[in-house]
Structure 1
C-alpha cells in the first residue's frame, strides 16, 4: 500500500460506509492511567466525539474495535451513541468482517484507523487504511493516509472532517 494523493483519498472516503476505530493510541493518546484502587481512566478528545457524531448523522456507521476492555471506553461509546462496540477482540479482522456482514457492506467500504501491530491485518484488508502521526512504523508504512495529529489529539476528528467533505455533507459547517 502507498499513501494516497488528496484526490485518491477523497475518492476512497466517498465510498466509506463504516468508520472503524481502535481505541488506545487512536481515540486516546495511548497512555494508561490508574486510580489508587486500580480503576483504569482514559482521556478522550471532545472534538473527536463531535466528529464521530457528525459522521453518524451523515449515515456512516461508526464502530469501536478494541483488544482491551475498559469501562471508560464503554461509557464514552454510550455517551456518543456509538452502537457498534467490539471489545476484548483478539482477531480484529474477523470482528470487522462479521460487522460488515451484519451491516451488509464490503471491506472495501470500510475506513479503519489503527496504530499498532494488532491493527495491521485489518488495515491491509479495508478500502481505506488510516493511521496517526505517532503510529508504529509498520502501520505508517501501509497506511493510505497518515493524520497530521497524533492519537488522542484530534486525529479522529481530522478523518471525520475529511469523510464529511468527501461525501458532500454540508449540513454542518466544518472548517
Structure 2
C-alpha cells in the first residue's frame, strides 16, 4: 500500500518508537562493490542519512539490522550516531525482539524497512512493516507502506519524512488537548 493518506498507516506510524533498517537494498541500492584487494564497498545516500538524524532528534530510536558483515555499515552507523547496529544478524527477528526487550518496547512500536525474503519474519511481526519500491513482491504484499523510491535512492528519507509528519500531527493534536 502506498497511499500516505491511509488512516491505518498513520495510526501505525504514530506508535513507532523504533525504526529498524535493513542495509543492502534499503540503505543501499543492493549492488555489491569490491576493490581489487577484495574489500567490500557500499554506497549510502546522504539524504537517507539526514532523515535518520532527524528521526533520532525527534526521539525515535534507530537500529540497523543486516546479515552482511561489511564494516562499511559500522562506519556509516557511527557517522550517523546510530547506537544499535547489528551486522551478521542471521536471525533478524531474534535481534529485534532482544532490542525491544532492552529498550522496554513492544514489537507493535517497531517500524521495520526490509526488501527481501530474510526480512519477512521481522516485517510480519512488527507493528509497522515498510518496504521500498524495488522490494520483492512478498515484502510489498506484507508492507503497510511501499516507498515511491528504490533502495539506496532516498527511500529511507521518504519513510523518515512520513514518520516525522505523522509524529508532528500527533504532537499537535496532543497539545490542543492539553490546552
- Give the ranges of 4+ consecutive aligned residues of structure 1 lying more than 4 Å apart after TM superposition: 2-5
SS in 2 for 1:62: strand
Please show how residues 11-30 of structure 1 align to structure 2 within 5 Å. 11-30=11-30
Aligned match of 2:34: 34
Contact 2:110 2:126 in 1 (8 A): yes
CA distance in 1, matches of 2:111, 2:124: 11
SS in 1 for 2:112: strand
CA distance in 1, matches of 2:133, 2:112: 15
CA distance in 2, matches of 1:152, 1:34: 17
Q: Which has the higher helix share?
A: 2
Please show how residues 103-114 of structure 1 align to structure 2 within 5 Å. 103-114=103-114
Contact 2:2 2:148 in 1 (8 A): no
CA distance in 1, matches of 2:142, 2:2: 8
Question: Over residues 79-117 of structure 1, what are the superposed CA-to-partner deviations in whole Å (9 max), with x where a residue is unaligned?
Answer: 000000011111100100000000000000000000000
1:119 aligns with 2:119: yes
Q: What is the aligned length?
A: 168
Give the drift of 1:7.
2.1
CA distance in 2, matches of 1:3, 1:80: 27
Larger Rg: 2
CA distance in 2, matches of 1:142, 1:12: 14
SS in 1 for 2:134: coil
With the length of structure 1 as denominator, give the TM-score of the two structures: 0.93
* Unaligned ranges ≥5, structure 2: 170-179
Question: Over residues 144-167 of structure 1, what are the superposed CA-to-partner deviations in whole Å (9 max), with x where a residue is unaligned?
Answer: 110000000000000100111111
Give the drift of 1:10.
1.4
1:134 aligns with 2:134: yes
1:84 aligns with 2:84: yes
Contact 1:3 1:143 in 2 (8 A): no
With the length of structure 2 as denominator, give the TM-score of the two structures: 0.91
Aligned match of 1:57: 57
Aligned match of 2:168: 168
